[in-house]
Amino acid sequence: VEGPPEPPAGHPSAVRSDDTSVSVAWSSPPYDGGCVLTGYRVEMKTDSSEEWGVVAERCHSLSRVIRNLTTGQVYTFRVRAENIHGASEPSLESNPIKLGHNEQEEEEEDDDLSSQLEPCHVEIQAGDEFVSRYTVHEELGKGRYGVVHKVTDQKTGNIMAAKFVRCIKKQDKEKVQEEIDIMNCLHHPKLLQLVGAFENPKDIVMIMEYISGGELFERVVADDFTLTEKDCIIFMRQICEGVEYMHNNFVVHLDLKPENIMCRTRTSHKIKLIDFGLAQKLKPDSPVRVLFGTPEFIPPEIINYEPIGVESDMWSVGVICYVLLSGLSPFMGDNDAETFANITRADYDFDDEAFDAISQDAKDFISSLLEKRREKRLTAHECLNHQWMTQCDKKNEIC
């Protein structure tokens, strides 16, 4: 039976773009009403009024930048899905967000293109289009997939990142297409954005936003950087915001680790999650089992070849938090076999002196994620409402 769709899943996220703009991102509805969605409607209210007003209609992606807002005002957003039969009930409300001047963000603005990037649906184009449009510069890094170069978009002058993925076999191209499909449904300020893809005889080039700040891991181990517990809260909130959005869209990352968390600039506390090469789209009636990931960060169910779920990412979030707070890896053994044994037993502790000054709330947060049984782990949404995570100074908009 056809009818209006269900509301978009979960809470929309609202993130400050600049002093007068907010980027709102949301998830698709669990049920579309039996027919194609025609768009989304964004509604807004201020803290001084209970009246909801429409601020954007006929949105065809899962995010929208709302502009021309008032500095100093607190805004809350909600979203309705629409099809030919009408509009859904409103979604849950977003986090309230206050717009105001922020010196730290002002320092970042010149380096941050993400607020200018409009969400787009990427389809693979011919390789000669890449050659004519982009100038290739220095290498930024290598991985299991191939190599990343800095490039300039000659059409806009923007600096971007180009990931050259080796595609010798048919399966290689299929894997890249899966990654593109997943990135096409993930438009959120805390997730790396894909803007183009081009096919050459031996590789596919994925064009993504350029992030200049390096890996969070590099920041953590730098001799001249001291990571406070408040810094960790700021980073963990953003990680959980990005993860919550992915999970609301039934995507599990499966490779969350400090190396896949990038800082927007060298001095910024703002991050983005990257590398969706191992990510999977979950289906309710199709259990997924995998045998990959980074040994220190994978949950027991992957080692035991049991079905995975969004909870599998939450174990990794717990390991990341432990590493950020202490500089130590909770399950690291002398070899992979020993590491896996520690993970399957959930064998970790807070005995090291690095935890002497860490709050009990922080330890409770980690313990609520490093649960052997995945159904007992906190969800990303529950993490954001945990007592430890809500300590963040609400007056400081870097969160």
pLDDT score at 225: 63
Q: pLDDT digits over 1-22, tens only?
A: 799 999 999 888 888 877 788 8
Q: 69: alpha, beta or left, given left = phi > 0 and alpha = psi -120 to 50?
A: beta
Give catalytic residue positions.
255
Supply the DSSP symbol for 201: S
Give percent above pLDDT 70 in the chain: 93
Q: At what angle do helices 360-367 and 310-326 cross, to 10 degrees?
A: 150
327: in domain: yes
Both 71 and 143 in one domain: the answer is no
Instruction: Give the pLDDT mean for 273-299.
Output: 92
pLDDT score at 138: 92
Both 297 and 280 in one domain: the answer is yes
CATH code, domain carrying 65: 2.60.40.10
> Is it the case that residue 104 has pLDDT exceeding 60?
no
Give the number of domains in the chain: 3
Q: Which segment of 76-85, 260-269, 278-287 scores lowest on mean pLDDT?
A: 260-269
Q: Which segment of 74-83, 223-232, 248-257, 357-366 scores lowest on mean pLDDT?
A: 223-232
User: Which three-class secondary structure state does DSSP give residue 353?
Assistant: helix
Q: pLDDT digits over 297-317, tens only?
A: 999 999 999 999 999 999 999
Q: pLDDT digits over 122-172, tens only?
A: 999 999 999 999 999 999 988 777 899 999 999 888 999 999 999 999 999
Both 379 and 235 in one domain: the answer is yes
Contact 290, 226 (CB under 8 A): no
> Is it the case that residue 397 has pLDDT exceeding 80?
no
Both 345 and 250 in one domain: the answer is yes
Give the residue among 129, 133, 138, 130 at the shortest CA–CA distance from 154: 133
Domain limits at 36? 13-97
User: Which three-class secondary structure state does DSSP give residue 199?
Assistant: strand
List the beta bridge partners of residue 162.
149, 207
Contact 251, 9 (CB under 8 A): no
Q: Return d(Cα 312, Cα 377) in angstroms, integer.
A: 9
Both 259 and 180 in one domain: the answer is no
- Whole-structure pTM value: 0.74
170 assigned to a ligand binding site: yes
**Residue 182: what residue type?**
I
Both 230 and 332 in one domain: the answer is yes
pLDDT score at 162: 97
For residue 179 the two structure tokens come to 């990654």
